[in-house]
Amino acid sequence: MFLEVHPDNPNPRNIKTIVECLLDGGIIIYPTDTIYGLGCDIFQHKAVERIARIKQIQLQKIQMSFICKDLSALSQYTKAISTPLYRILKHHLPGQFTFILPASKEVPKILQTKKNTIGLRVPDNKICQTLLSELSHPILSTSLPGEMVEEYTDPEIMYENFKNAVDIVIDGGIGNMTPSTIVDCTKEPYEIIRQGAAVFEEL
Model pLDDT for residues 108-117, shown as the tens digit of each residue: 999 988 889 9
Angstrom distance (rounded) from CA 57 to CA 43 = 20
Segments making up each domain of the chain, as ranges = 2-194
* Amino acid 70: pLDDT: 96
DSSP class of 78: B
Instruction: Determine the Cα–Cα distance for residues 141 and 5; give it in Å rounded to an integer.
Output: 19
Do 4 and 14 touch, CB atoms closer than 8 A? yes
Residue 195 has pLDDT above 90, yes or no: yes
Q: Over 90: is that where the pLDDT of 105 sits?
A: yes
Query: What is the pLDDT at residue 62?
Result: 81
pLDDT at 135 over 90: yes
Kindly report the average pLDDT of the chain as a whole number. Answer: 94
Calculated CA dihedral for residues 33, 1, 13, 53, nearest 10 degrees: -60
Per-residue pLDDT of 148-176, as tens digits, reads: 667 789 999 999 999 999 999 999 999 99
pLDDT at 100: 96
Q: What is the pLDDT at residue 43?
A: 96
- Please give the model's pTM, rounded to 2 decimal places: 0.94
CATH 3.90.870.10 at 2-194, yes or no: yes
